[in-house]
């Protein structure tokens, strides 16, 4: 993305060691996948806010992409809600579906609508993904 290159030229040091993977846009929700080395959370949040203002997205999330690790991807995308686990559900027709277990108490912490997050995770991961509330006993 051109905006990331401009930010790197302005002196964002963490972007010099990062590799752009892909960006996804879902109804005003932008997800940017980068392979990041040596970045702090506050610099990612600051960059996400700046990108959101410049392109007019309602919400921007920059994610450190580490390949096909669904749990790590879900932890970053659903943050600050806590991911308790990822289960694989084998359907009768032979397909698979992934369920991400999130505490029922943390559902209100999701910064974007649950259905939109499911759509984003499914598109990025390439498999059907659903977010399931879990009650802890």
Q: Region 91-109: what's the mean pLDDT?
A: 93
Structural domains of the chain in order of their starting residue, each with its CATH number: 2-64 (3.30.300), 70-134 (3.30.300.20)
Q: At what angle do helices 114-125 and 70-78 cross, to 10 degrees?
A: 150
pLDDT at 135: 77
High-pLDDT (> 70) share of the chain, %: 96
DSSP letter for each residue of 6-60: HHHHTT-HHHHT-EEEEEEEETTEEEEEEE-SS--HHHHHHHHHHHHHHHT-SEE
Distance CA 130, CA 14 (A): 33
**Model confidence pLDDT, tens digit, residues 33-63:** 999 887 666 678 888 999 999 998 889 999 9
Return the higher-pLDDT residue of 84 and 40.
Answer: 84
């Amino acid at each position: 993305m051109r905006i990331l290159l401009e930010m790197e030229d302005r002196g964002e040091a963490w972007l010099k060691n990062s590799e752009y993977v892909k960006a996804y846009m879902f109804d005003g929700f932008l997800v940017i996948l980068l392979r990041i080395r040596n970045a702090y959370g506050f610099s990612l949040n600051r960059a996400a806010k700046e990108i959101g203002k410049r392109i007019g997205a309602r919400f921007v999330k920059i994610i450190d992409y580490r390949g096909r690790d669904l749990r790590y991807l879900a932890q970053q995308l659903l943050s600050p809600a806590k991911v308790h686990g990822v289960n694989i559900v084998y359907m009768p027709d032979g397909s698979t579906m992934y369920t991400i277990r999130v505490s029922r108490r943390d559902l209100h912490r999701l910064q974007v609508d649950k259905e939109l997050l499911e759509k984003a995770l499914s598109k990025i991961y390439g498999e059907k993904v659903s977010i399931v509330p879990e009650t802890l006993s």
